[in-house]
């Protein structure tokens, strides 16, 4: 479900409301979300701690705690965080409730139970985080960096863009949209992207992510913001989910293929 722009949207909304709130009670309705940790250890680690900040790294949400520790969350396909007034009973997909000292509840819900919540004392302990590559909106993501890394891989571009160890945060939707914007085939080998194309690809990565963040992400089926509102970027998708529809640039029917078990949408005329 959520890629970088959706996670960024959630993080900004939580960052506006969560810092300063203290955890007064922890309820775990389904322990899958906690990985190998026991609900007891999870509860003990969170009780009485105060949220200092909420940040994003790739598709991970990082909640910094006072006096120490971090809650590291990944929404995977269907995870959601919402801030709710007191509730009588959990909804069927609610997995964890963190009761706050203002009476509200930070709700973690996840239909498919792929999402994870991990409590660590130091961020270095988190394996998923350690593997992440460059943040595409940071200064470290430069045309030179991109060109150098592309030249070392023979992977198809779609696969290359979605590999979190290279660029952190792109998923299926934005990889498709970025390749369309750059006029590059999803099957093009990374090391066969020219210098000029690398410059354009770099620009498009930042442009597409920036626009998507401004539109509060993409809601295809069930992504929701902290207040349950939807993102708006789906109205601006050019190829994703549009198999058979005319390409907005040339009118050719958008095609769908499978790559790495995932659907890829592209215009066979505009993308080479």
Partner DNA sequence: AGCGGAACCTGTCGGC
Partner DNA sequence: TGCCGACAGGTTCCGC
125 contacts DNA (rule: CB under 7 A): no
The smaller minimum CB distance to DNA, of residues 114 and 145, is found at: 114
Which range of residues in 38-46, 49-57, 125-133, 140-148 is near DNA by CB under 7 A? 125-133
Terminal alpha carbon distance of the chain: 28
263 contacts DNA (rule: CB under 7 A): yes
Question: Looking at 15, 111, 143, 257, which residue binds DNA (CB under 7 A)?
Answer: 111
Three-class HEC string of 64-79: EEECCCEEEEECCCCE
The alpha carbon of residue 36 and the mean position of all alpha carbons in its chain are separated, in whole angstroms, by 23
Least Å from the CB of residue 113 to DNA: 4
Residue with tokens 């964890």: 96
173 contacts DNA (rule: CB under 7 A): yes
112 contacts DNA (rule: CB under 7 A): yes
The smaller minimum CB distance to DNA, of residues 19 and 133, is found at: 133
156 contacts DNA (rule: CB under 7 A): yes
- Which is it for strands 70-74 and 50-57: parallel, antiparallel or unpaired? unpaired
113 contacts DNA (rule: CB under 7 A): yes
As a whole number of angstroms, the distance between CA 238 and CA 18 comes to: 35
Is the separation of the CB atoms in 131 and 165 below 8 Å?
yes
> Which residues lie closer than 8 Å to 192 by C-beta, 6 or more apart?
none
235 contacts DNA (rule: CB under 7 A): no
Question: Looking at 16, 25, 32, 151, which residue binds DNA (CB under 7 A)?
Answer: 32
- Residues forming the active site: 2-3, 59, 262
């Amino acid at each position: 479900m959520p890629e970088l722009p959706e996670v960024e949207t959630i993080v900004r909304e939580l960052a506006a409301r969560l810092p300063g709130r203290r955890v007064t009670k922890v309820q775990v309705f389904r322990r899958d979300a906690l990985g190998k940790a026991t609900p007891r250890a999870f509860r003990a680690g969170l009780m009485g701690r105060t949220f200092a900040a909420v940040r994003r790294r790739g598709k991970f949400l990082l909640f910094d705690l006072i006096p120490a520790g971090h809650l590291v969350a990944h929404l995977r396909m269907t995870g959601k965080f919402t801030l709710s007034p007191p509730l009588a009973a959990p909804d069927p997909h609610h997995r964890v409730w963190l009761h706050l000292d203002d009476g509200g509840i930070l709700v973690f819900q996840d239909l498919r139970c792929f999402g994870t919540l991990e409590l660590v004392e130091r961020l270095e302990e988190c394996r998923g985080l350690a593997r992440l590559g460059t943040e595409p909106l940071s200064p470290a993501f430069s045309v030179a960096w991109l060109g150098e890394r592309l030249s070392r891989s023979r992977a198809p571009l779609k696969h290359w863009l979605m590999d979190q160890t290279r660029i952190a945060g792109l998923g299926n939707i934005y990889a498709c949209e970025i390749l369309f914007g750059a006029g590059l085939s999803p099957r093009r080998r990374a090391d066969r992207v020219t210098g000029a194309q690398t410059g354009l690809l770099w620009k498009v990565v930042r442009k597409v992510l920036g626009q998507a963040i401004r539109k509060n992400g993409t809601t295809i089926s069930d992504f929701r913001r902290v207040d349950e509102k939807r993102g708006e970027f789906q109205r601006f998708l050019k190829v994703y989910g549009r198999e058979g529809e005319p390409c907005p640039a040339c009118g050719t029917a958008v095609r769908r293929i499978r790559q790495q078990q995932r659907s890829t949408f592209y215009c066979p005329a505009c993308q080479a």
